[in-house]
Amino acid sequence: MTTLSGKVAIVTGGASGIGRASCELIAARGAAVAVADLNLDLAKEAADAITNAGGRAIALRVDVRDEAQVARMVAETVTAFGGIDLLDNVVSYNTPEQSGADGEVHLMEIAIWNRAQEVNLRGPMLAAKYAIPEMLKRGGGAIVNISSTAGILALGVVPAYAASKAGVHSLSQSIATAYGKRNIRCNTVAPGFIDTPTTRNMGDQFFQMTLDNNVLPYLGKPEDIAEASAFLLSDAARYITGQLLPVDGGQTIHLPVVADMWRLATGKPLVQQQS
């Protein structure tokens, strides 16, 4: 098991889903955690769960589009815990998929494009901008930026979301290159389709279609992404920087027709859902 004992972490978008799972795991591995989220009530619930389990956590409300709020997030974390060693940028704006919003570029509302870039790309940049000086004071640190498989291969929908997530890895590479000699590492995790109440609400047909195109016979959980992030934040990954790790059940390793080809040849889905 990787340990984060004695470290201080900020997790943006930490109040629910992948973010909350990441906060809880990072805290369980020994780090103090600032749960930063736009929803302060949910952030407090997450922080309380960590402290009730014997960990250390604070809840912070932050809109990552606002530079002053991001700067305050970092300052309050330093005040609470004495410094910053780790940054896990989970924060994300999942843009609407309906036509005219973020489905087709020629119909896209520019506000959708702008918000996707502001939250998904500018937000992690601002968090890094203010966290990195604090990491340098402590001799280094580690950053994980959460991207998406939509930033690796096009879905044909959500182009604003996809473009912002593609940019996230370029940001990680730039940070890794600029600060490596100063002992700061930065990597990207690209989740595939993750099984959450939100994704379940997208409908059985969409859920099964996504499952069919995974290589593994199940979809990922928020904890799967948390495990990958915790590893990359830990000293066990001390020689890994600037890399992109898809955590996607094999979604991105095959041609897009594989599920249909398998069904044509065998009469069965490529994978069967497991209970």
Is 161 one of the catalytic residues?
A: yes
Structure tokens at 231: 């590893």
The DSSP bridge partners found for residue 59 are 35
Q: Please tell me which residue in 93, 130, 161, 179 is annotated as part of the active site.
A: 161
- The label of the residue with tokens 């990195």 reads 132
Cβ(248)–Cβ(190) under 8 Å? yes
What residues act catalytically?
161
